[in-house]
Amino acid sequence: MQISLLSPTPPLTPCRSSSTIETPPIRKLKVITPPHPPLSLPKKVSPPLRQLNPLQNFAASLLDAVESSLFVDKLPKTVDPAVQISGNFSPVPECSVRHDLEIIGNLPACLRGVYFRNGANPMHAPTGGHHLFDGDGMIHAVTFHSGNKASYSCRFTRTNRLQYEAALGRPVFPKPIGELHGHQGLARLAIFLARAGIGIIDGSKGTGVANAGLVYFNGRLLALSEDDLPYHVQIKDDGDLETIGRFDFNGQINCPMIAHPKVDPISGDLHGLSYNMIKKPYLKYLRFDMFGKKSRDVDITLREPTMIHDFAITENHVVIPDHQVVFKLFEMVRGGSPVVFDPKKTSRFGILPKSGVDEKGIVWIEVPNCFCFHLWNAWEETGGNDEKSIVVIGSCMNPPDSIFNDRDQPLRIELTEIRMDVKNRKVTRRVFGSGMNLEAGQMNRRFVGRKTRFVYMAIAEPWPKCSGIAKVDLETGKVKKFLYGEGRYGGEPFYVSENGNCGGDNENEDGGFIVGFVRDEKRERSEVVVVKAAEMEEVAAVRLPVRVPYGFHGTFVSEEELNGQARN
């Protein structure tokens, strides 16, 4: 997840190919990856660096000197590289495809396709603060073949930002969360704008890192973070990955899209949001039909710019959170972070009809003291007297801004049902798995926007590591756990239907399998585990040839879907 305030070290050696970007070890950190000699980006994906005239060279040298003179104060743990990029959070090099991996057990027949997981993997050592969300996007891909075989690869998403920094050999784009704090943040922003002004870099073609979400839509795998357009990443026949470039839906959008767009499993439409932290309208709703044609573009009025990382859809509505973590750029002038918790604001959800052409039909319902970084599903329920409720399943965090700012209070993340009576605007809540931190989860995507019984959540303990998976029954409230074992940690579990992504309407909601990356920190071994959702028991594991860091969100693309992949 990235937040953009920007206007429109040697790298690591790859496992095999020499035509790849490489990643450096982070300075002054205890990292697993050993140092490697530097390599450069292949010319075909390098940005056009212009030759500078003598005056530009002098200005560039002056800016470098000013930047190197910036003193890094003692950093809070939320932006301290020694905390944020240590152990299995430290970066790894790219790895070209490795075939014939060791399989423990038998891979289910429905796992024919590729499981992808995105994450933050900084290419260069940070020169200042660094937040876990600041790293460059890297996608890890595990291809499940017939005959109980699997292969693995990982590649950087070649964003505009990454290509410039790789060509220059150092970071030049400020890290929005880790560095843009207080007066030093303003100084770094000014240096960046000055470099852009004299032509060293071009931020107009994107400043994002594409490290958070993944969605497969209309034959394209899209990597997303909310500070840029999506990036189209092509899946090659051998399981390798290649960045095609920023994707503007064939010229239909020129604004960022948040990390979690939603594909309606019935209509095939893609729904998305775009927020702007500087100018009005602060929020925009986007809708594309199954063929990628934009059919909705609705401006939504907010009182102040709000961080909206996720949202939800129902059969007929879009559910938009407007919560208490907001952007206040003036806080940088006062020495603070621009991402703040506003206790004077009352959290609310907006219920917008999918068919609406403007914001007039939106209904806002206040839900005090609620901050959901992620929403897992939502649906509609009807009752007597024409009563209609919108039910939202989300993970509510408290303190709300604790992942951005240091807090003395321990972080609590509660899986919560929020039931909103649209007519009377009354709200009730129900917490599942009380006492457990439940974040980073999935449900059967065949039921997106429809009533769901099961969700599969990461047990986010000890935070920010995840010790297992919790299958939560939303009808009975019962929780069934699958624990990875001592010294073993994972991340977001991903549910794959028993019929791939093409299950029928009558399929069992928990008849599929859960996949996810796991790191055994004692044995220093990474693998993908496959768990039968009904019994929550492991049926297979794929041993991986390299270390896979903890990351963010993923998706599964079936063989059938790959056959319809767009080639541009």
What single-letter DSSP state applies at residue 506? T
Location of structure tokens 């007519």: 423
The alpha carbon of residue 419 and the mean position of all alpha carbons in its chain are separated, in whole angstroms, by 26
Is 309 annotated as contributing to ligand binding? yes
Cα–Cα distance, 57 to 163 (Å, whole number): 21
User: Which run of H or E residues covers position 175?
Assistant: none
Is 553 annotated as contributing to ligand binding? yes
Q: What is the CA radius of gyration of the chain?
A: 23
Token pair listed for 147: 């005959």
Cα–Cα distances (Å) from 196 to 60, 137, 547, in that order, read: 10, 22, 36
First to last CA, the chain: 26
Cα–Cα distance, 90 to 153 (Å, whole number): 18
Cα–Cα distance, 368 to 68 (Å, whole number): 45
Which residues are bridge partners to 379 per DSSP?
391
Cα–Cα distance, 266 to 281 (Å, whole number): 30
Token pair listed for 348: 């609310």
How many Cβ atoms sit within 10 Å of the Cβ of residue 481?
13
Token pair listed for 273: 């949001």
Cα–Cα distance, 453 to 504 (Å, whole number): 17
Is 260 annotated as contributing to ligand binding? yes
Write phi, then psi, for 403 (nearest 5 degrees): -80, -10
Burial category of 175 from C-beta neighbours within 10 Å (exposed 0-12, middle 13-18, buried 19 and up): buried
Can you tell me whether residue 143 is helix, strand or coil?
strand
Per the annotation, binding residues for Fe cation are 260, 309, 374, 553
Per the annotation, binding residues are 260, 309, 374, 553
